[in-house]
């Protein structure tokens, strides 16, 4: 039973077992879920950000349990890291822009954040690549996606500074 719960957690309820591009599908599912949480259910950005931090710490432990007996320490079915990495820029965007925004602006920024995250997660610029190559444990699995998410935040902050 515990192994099944761990599997469902690290694979985002089985998304990680999809044969083609499970990381991109997990990122897209995360983006859609967060849109629903923020803009349809109107859940507080601060509550979701705190929940994300809790999920991050749980993931460090649970991913280690999942990969403990595996040869590949970063299996493609583990996509909870994509959930965390994709959530970072979206949550921070929502915290920074709480209030009225047009749906078109929201959808545009969500799309840009999704694309940028996938680019940074796939191309792995430094320090994303550092964590990916040097830590063969849950820390490395998760931190490369955290860094990719923070790169998205940096690009968006730079864009907002330039355009304001």
Quick: pLDDT tens for 54-94: 999 999 999 999 999 888 878 899 999 999 999 999 999 99
Q: Does the structure show a pLDDT above 90 at 101?
A: no
Average pLDDT, the chain: 94
- Residue with structure tokens 């929502």? 94
d(Cα 89, Cα 131) in Å, to the nearest integer? Answer: 19
Q: Does the structure show a pLDDT above 90 at 155?
A: yes
Q: Does the structure show a pLDDT above 90 at 115?
A: yes
Q: Looking at residue 100, what is its pLDDT?
A: 72
Domain boundaries, the chain: 2-163
Mean pLDDT of 34-49: 95
Q: What angle do CA 20, 34, 44 make, to 5 degrees?
A: 165
Q: What is the pTM of this model?
A: 0.94
Q: Looking at residue 136, what is its pLDDT?
A: 85
DSSP letters spanning 18-85: -SS-HHHHHHHHHHHHHHIIIIIS---HHHHHHHHHHHHHHHHHHHHHHHTT-S-SS-TT--HHHHHH
Q: Does the structure show a pLDDT above 90 at 50?
A: yes
Confidence of residue 127 (pLDDT cuts 50, 70, 90): confident
């Amino acid at each position: 039973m515990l192994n099944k719960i761990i599997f469902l957690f690290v694979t985002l309820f089985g998304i990680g077992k999809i044969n083609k591009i499970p990381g991109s599908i997990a990122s897209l599912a995360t983006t859609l879920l967060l849109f629903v949480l923020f803009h349809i259910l109107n859940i507080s950005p601060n509550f979701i950000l705190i929940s994300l931090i809790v999920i991050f710490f749980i993931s460090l432990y649970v991913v280690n349990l999942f990969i403990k007996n595996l040869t590949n320490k970063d299996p493609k079915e583990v996509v909870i890291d994509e959930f965390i990495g994709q959530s970072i820029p979206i949550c921070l965007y929502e915290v920074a822009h709480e209030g009225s925004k047009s749906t078109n602006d929201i959808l545009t920024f969500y799309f840009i954040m999704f694309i940028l995250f996938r680019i940074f997660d796939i191309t792995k610029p430094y320090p994303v690549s550092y964590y990916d190559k040097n830590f063969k444990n849950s820390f490395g699995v998760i931190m490369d996606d955290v860094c990719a998410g923070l790169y998205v935040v940096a690009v968006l902050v730079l864009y907002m500074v330039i355009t304001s």
